[in-house]
Amino acid sequence: MKLGVPCGITHLHTMKTAISLEDHLMLEADRAARELGVSRSRLVSLALKEYLRNRENDRIVEQLNTVYADLDSREKRVLPQIKAKFRQTSTESW
């Protein structure tokens, strides 16, 4: 079973939903959508996608922290560089 409805020629599937937001947040979102030249729905979709990607990246970093918690002192000096490289890679647009 496919969810959502076809969306234009790209054949993306979308699902309509209703959410409640504080007035000031909705006004700010509408302003941002106008500035970016996208619909409110597209803005929310982009924001949610970014939030979920950041959440997954945080989960990965937490797992790395757990794995590397017992490193010796030499390895601990290199770890910040490894984490920084991971964060840089995870935030780059492909």
pLDDT digits over 7-29, tens only? 555 556 888 999 999 999 999 99
Q: Is 80 exceeded by the pLDDT of residue 55?
A: yes
Helical residues (DSSP H) of 1-94, grouped into ranges? 23-36, 40-67, 73-91
Q: Is 90 exceeded by the pLDDT of residue 44?
A: yes
- Per-residue pLDDT, averaged over 20-41, amounts to 96
Q: Which band of pLDDT confidence, cut at 50, 70 and 90, is reported for residue 1? A: very low
Answer whether 0.95 is exceeded by the pTM: no
- The candidate with the shortest Cα–Cα distance to 4, out of 19, 12, 45, is 12
Adjacent-strand bridge partners of 14: 5
